[in-house]
Amino acid sequence: MSRLNLDDFSDLIERPDSGTRRDAEERRERLIVPPGSLGRLDELAEWLSAAQASVPVKAIEQPRVVLFAGDHGVAELGVSGRESGSTHELVRAVLEGASPVAVLARRMGVPVRVVDAGLDCDPELLPETVVRRRVRRGSGRIDVGDALTVEEAEQAVRLGMAIADEEADSGTDLIVLGDLSVGGTTPASTLIAALCGTDASVVTGRGGAGIDDLAWMRKCAAIRDALRRARPVLGDQLELLAAVGGADLAATTGFLLQSAVRRMPVILDGVVSAACALVGQRAAFRAPDWWLAGQVSGEPAQTKALDRMALNPLLDHGVTVGEGTGALLALPLVQAAAALAAELPERTEPVKPEEAAVPVESDTD
């Protein structure tokens, strides 16, 4: 089998249908509520209508949360608020219903799928419902060596592609994408710094679990050292993922690209999914048109990545827990936009200019 070339996705991915989006915009002008009065919900509905190639937009009937799980050797340096190699505990909490994303998913009726791409644990520690497609046991320390071999990186990307195909074939119409990892924000921040051409200190955040100043300095140093190893391979996305990514990040990248090929919209969560999306954009510049940024995670690297992809987050509630939680919180907003666009009646008369939405001034400052 010939080596996978991520640049080939550029020829496979098309933008959401622009003609359908124009039709959706024209239909919006005819709705009973004045244009502009629903704010960003109009934009969301038109984006979704183009992604579905349907006017009116169809309701989101089969969303799913997909979480790629993996451990990272760089966590041994104390760059995370959690113990190195303990991601399996996060996996158990999600699948046993004892984590924020699990509680929200249960309340919303959204199924959750966890994929073991590179956990560092014995298989018997995992619930039976985990998708067991492990590429390797944990990813390497990116400050001193490669996270993966190039062959492992390709295997992980193909894993993500296969999961995307399975979801699309089963009728999933929107993905809430997240990650489960200890130390994962370090390779994610490294990827973003490398692709944006910035320094380690600019992208180093506190992570979902929160770290003190000393741990932040260790994390910053690890990203700095990893960046030295990343820059020589910036021209090849697969080698970049192998050098400073990880099995879960490579799988997420493959998932995002193949989801775009299959015209399946995705809501991104935090800095890890943003980093993978940025790698995906480097391979296929049209791919970000299929993604929404669910929330602001507070990680400076996420902000840089989203700015580079021109993705404007839907929510900013200070949610830093990760695990797809912020992206899942954005799902009802997307569903509401679709419902309003599809179910509001059209006007019987054209909209008059004086009826268009105008800002309402407050009586007080």
Q: Convert the pLDDT of each residue in 242-271 to its tens digit.
A: 999 999 999 999 999 999 999 999 999 999
Beta strands in 62-195 (DSSP E): 63-71, 112-118, 131-132, 174-182
Region 21-36: mean pLDDT is 93
Query: Has this prediction a pTM greater than 0.85?
Result: yes
Same domain, 116 and 37: no
Residues 42 and 145 in one domain: no
Task: Please indicate, yes or no, whether residues 155 and 242 belong to a single structural domain of this protein.
Answer: yes
**Three-state DSSP class for residue 186:** helix
Q: Using CA atoms, how far apart are residues 296 and 302, in angstroms rounded to an integer?
A: 8
pLDDT over threshold 70, residue 360: no
pLDDT band at 316 (very low <50, low <70, confident <90, very high): very high
Report if residue 49 sits inside a domain. Answer: yes
Residue 56 has pLDDT above 90, yes or no: yes
- Domain boundaries, position 347: 6-58+340-355
Percent of the chain with pLDDT over 90: 88
Q: Is residue 85 a part of any domain in this protein?
A: yes
In a domain, 296, yes or no: yes
Count of residues making up the chain: 365
Do residues 350 and 202 both lie within one domain?
no
349/325 same-domain check: no
Angle value at C-alpha 276, between 101 and 264, nearest 5 degrees: 70
Q: Are residues 54 and 101 in the same domain?
A: no
- Asked if 78 and 52 sit in the same domain, the reply is no
Tell me whether residue 363 is in a domain.
Answer: no
Element holding 301 (H helix, E strand): helix 300-309
Same domain, 209 and 94: yes
- Exposed/middle/buried for residue 220 (C-beta within 10 Å: 0-12, 13-18, 19+): buried
132 pairs with which residues across the strands?
116
Sign of CA pseudo-dihedral 301, 303, 309, 311: positive
The answer on pLDDT for 358 being more than 80 is no
The answer to whether residues 71 and 191 belong to one domain is yes
Q: What is the pLDDT of residue 88?
A: 96
Does residue 78 sit in the same domain as residue 53? no
Q: Helix 87-95 and helix 100-108: axis angle, to 10°?
A: 20
pLDDT band at 157 (very low <50, low <70, confident <90, very high): very high
CA distance linking residue 67 with residue 112, whole number of Å? 8
Q: How many separate helices (H) and strands (E) can be counted in the chain?
A: 14, 6
Percent of the chain exceeding pLDDT 70 equals 94
> Cβ atoms within 10 A of the Cβ of 158, count?
18
Averaged pLDDT, 201-220: 86
| pLDDT at 167 > cutoff 50 | yes
What is the predicted pLDDT for the residue at 349? 67
Q: Quick one: pLDDT at residue 150?
A: 97
CATH number at residue 45: 1.10.1610.10
Q: How many domains does the chain have?
A: 2
Helix (H) or strand (E) holding 196: helix 185-196
Report pLDDT for 363: 47
Bond preceding residue 56 cis, omega within 30 of 0: yes
Is 151 annotated as catalytic? Answer: no
Query: Which of 74-88, 117-131, 198-212 is the least confident region?
Result: 198-212
Residue type, 22: R
Token pair listed for 48: 């979704």
Written as one letter, the residue type at 216 is W
If asked whether residues 29 and 148 sit together in one domain, one would say: no
Read off the pLDDT of each residue in 140-148 and give the average, rounded to a whole number: 97
> Is residue 32 within 8 Å of 351, Cβ to Cβ?
no
Same domain, 197 and 100: yes
The pLDDT value given to residue 211: 83
- Residue 360 lies inside a defined structural domain of this protein: no
Catalytic residue, from 323, 346, 355, 361: name it: 323
Q: Tokens 């009802």 — which residue?
A: 332
User: How high is the pLDDT of residue 139?
Assistant: 97
pLDDT tens digits along 70-109: 999 999 999 988 899 999 999 999 999 999 999 999 999 9
CATH at 258: 3.40.50.10210
Residue with tokens 């969303």: 63
Measured CA to CA in angstroms, residue 158 lies from 4, 104, 207, 253, 281 at distances of 9, 30, 28, 9, 17
Whether residue 21 lies inside any domain: the answer is yes
On average, the pLDDT of the chain sits at 93
**Residue 357 pLDDT greater than 80, yes or no:** no
Query: 55 pLDDT exceeds 80?
Result: yes
pLDDT, average across residues 215-238: 96
pLDDT at position 350 is: 58
pLDDT digits (tens, 9 = 90+) for 319-348: 988 899 999 999 999 999 999 999 999 987
361 belongs to a structural domain = no
Q: Which long-range contacts (CB under 8 A, 24 or more apart) does 49-52 make?
A: 49/20, 49/21, 49/23, 49/24, 49/341, 50/16, 50/17, 50/18, 50/20, 50/21, 50/24, 51/16, 51/263, 51/265, 51/290, 52/20, 52/173
State yes or no: pLDDT of 359 exceeds 70.
no
Q: Could you tell me if residue 246 is inside a domain?
A: yes
Q: What is the pLDDT of residue 92?
A: 97
